[in-house]
Amino acid sequence: MRVREVRTDRLGAVSGEVWVDLTRHPYVEGETAWVPVREGFAFDREIPERHAYAGRGYFMLGDVAVVRGDRPAEKEVAGIVRFRHPRGVLWIESLDGVTRTPVTEILWGSAGEVCHREEGYTYYLDPGRVMFAQGNRDEKMRMARLVRESPAGARVADMFAGIGYFAIPMAGSGAKVHAMEINPVACAYLERNIAANGLAGRVQVSCGDCRVHLSGTYDRVVMGHFDAVTMLPAVFSHVHGRSVIHVHSIGDVSGTIQDLAEGAGFSPSINVHKVKKYRPHEWHIVQDVTLS
């Protein structure tokens, strides 16, 4: 297939050009789109004809294909390689311990550090060493939207910041973010990503146990960890009567949150928000807890 290289932000501008082959779809890779070219017009390169992918689920972090769940068969890995041509295919078996360190295996090619772009932000990470919350994309953007809809300069605590996938979009939307992370490798990437996105003046980083580093009073608290409810008591001395706490969990724990908040002297209003299916019959839930 003959194609021209076009930045994705110019796809709309070139869609009506006479050289565009409208019978085929562009192939998008990061911020680059390879737009099919009609016969007789100049082109930049030829790429293999692409067909709809119907194989094992995966996602791209930079130029590395990442697979979760059961270990994929060799033919499934080969299918990903043929379709996406990644630098490598990395299987993440699980996340280990309080630092959420990935247990991984490189199934094809090589892995290591990548540069990943998402919603206009840049993230450096090594997916073999640190967690990236790829499946929470809509939730990350929801947090950014809530910040934009809040009073300017709101102070936000991100208690399990990782490499910055919540902290950076919130800071980019106008919040003053206190980002805490216990994994030293992730914390180093967090600091690097804050600088890469030009947000050094909007994000304060604390490396270590978030329960120790909480300080002052926050307008919003993001608790992006499935065991968040067990750490909720540490939060109540750092919020006020209009603060909002976003408590992540597997399954609905709003009853426990209600009891803990009332025990701390607050009257909570809890809205349960489904993020994604975690496993059969279980959901990744976020409880939006508005205090009064």
Q: What is the mean pLDDT of residues 265-291?
A: 95
Residues 91 and 204 both lie in one domain: no
Q: What is the mean pLDDT of the chain?
A: 94
Q: What is the mean pLDDT of residues 7-21?
A: 91
Could you list the beta-strand ranges (E) of the chain.
2-7, 27-29, 32-36, 45-46, 59-61, 64-68, 88-96, 101-109, 114-118, 121-125, 155-158, 176-181, 203-207, 218-223, 239-250, 269-279, 282-290
Answering whether pTM is above 0.75, one says: yes
On whether residue 203 sits in a domain, the answer given is yes
- Here the CATH number for the domain that contains residue 205 is 3.40.50.150
Residues 152 and 219 both lie in one domain: yes
pLDDT at 182 over 90: yes
pLDDT digits 0-9 by tens, 197-236:
999 999 999 999 999 999 999 999 999 999 999 999 999 9
Confidence of residue 179 (pLDDT cuts 50, 70, 90): very high
On whether residue 145 sits in a domain, the answer given is yes
Residue type, 108: W
Residues 7 and 70 both lie in one domain: no
Q: What's the distance, CA 270 to chain centroid?
A: 24
Residues 14 and 104 both lie in one domain: no
Look at residue 203 and give its three-state secondary structure.
strand
The predicted pLDDT at position 136 comes to 86
On whether residue 54 sits in a domain, the answer given is no
Residues 147 and 256 both lie in one domain: yes
Pairing of β 64-68 and β 59-61: antiparallel
CA distance 79 to 101: 27
pLDDT digits 0-9 by tens, 110-163:
999 999 999 999 999 999 999 998 878 899 999 999 999 999 889 999 999 999
Fill in the DSSP letter of residue 67.
Answer: E
pLDDT at 53 over 80: no
Considering its fold, how many domains does the chain have in total?
3
pLDDT at 49 over 80: no
On whether residue 120 sits in a domain, the answer given is no
CA distance 224 to 244: 14
Residues 65 and 24 both lie in one domain: no
Burial of 274 (0-12, 13-18, 19+ CB in 10 A): exposed
* Measured distance between the N- and C-terminal CA atoms of the chain, rounded to whole angstroms: 60
On whether residue 284 sits in a domain, the answer given is yes
pLDDT digits 0-9 by tens, 75-109:
999 999 988 899 999 999 999 999 999 999 999 99
The residue segments making up the domain with residue 68 are: 59-112
Q: What is the mean pLDDT of residues 261-283?
A: 94
On whether residue 206 sits in a domain, the answer given is yes
pLDDT at 29 over 90: no
On whether residue 126 sits in a domain, the answer given is no
Higher pLDDT, 274 or 28: 274
The predicted pLDDT at position 231 comes to 97
What are the start-end ranges of the H helices in the chain? 11-14, 74-84, 137-148, 167-172, 184-196, 210-213, 228-231, 254-263
Residues 13 and 103 both lie in one domain: no
On whether residue 123 sits in a domain, the answer given is no
Residues 147 and 250 both lie in one domain: yes
Residues 77 and 23 both lie in one domain: no
Contact call for residues 239 and 99 (beta carbons, < 8 A): no
pLDDT at 65 over 80: yes
Contact call for residues 55 and 65 (beta carbons, < 8 A): no
Residue in 221, 266, 222, 216 with CA at minimum distance from that of residue 238 = 216
Look at residue 172 and give its three-state secondary structure.
helix
CA distance 35 to 27: 7
Contact call for residues 180 and 210 (beta carbons, < 8 A): yes
